[in-house]
Amino acid sequence: MATYKELVAQKKALEAQLEDVRANEISDVLERIRAWMEEYGLSIDDIEGKRRRGRPAGSGGAKAVTQKEPLPPKYLDPKTGKTWSGRGRAPAWLGKRPERFLIQE
């Protein structure tokens, strides 16, 4: 059985071999890419494309905001004349019995 030091030495030798093989393969790949770019008349801008932030248009992200008509008020504070449509956070003036402030249609 190999000792710890022997295994560490083997590991270092394998890592060095990996780096050499990777460097050789990368140079071959880069040469092929350059040849294809020249063959097809491509530039780096063609490969990278336009960089944009966020999602591409029409990808189902945020919907376009359309102007909606405000809802008619359902509640009225007779003292101040303030109204509330019943949507969103309830105003403090409604209290515990909001039916008192309902607007009669």
Mean pLDDT (the chain, rounded): 87
Looking at residue 66, what is its pLDDT?
76
Report the candidate in 76, 70, 72, 81 with the shortest Cα–Cα distance to residue 94: 76
Instruction: Dump strand ranges (E) for 12-103.
Output: 75-76, 83-84
Angle CA 33–31–38, to nearest 5: 55
From CA 39, how far away is CA 30, in angstroms rounded? 14
The pair of structure tokens assigned to 27 is: 């140079």
Higher pLDDT, 52 or 87: 87
pTM of the predicted model, to two decimals? 0.38
Looking at residue 19, what is its pLDDT?
94
Question: Does residue 35 carry a pLDDT above 90?
Answer: yes
From CA 61, how far away is CA 56, in angstroms rounded? 9
pLDDT digits (tens, 9 = 90+) for 49-76: 766 677 666 666 556 667 888 889 999 9
Q: Check if the beta carbon of residue 99 is closer than 8 Å to that of residue 90.
A: no
Angle CA 81–84–85, to nearest 5: 140
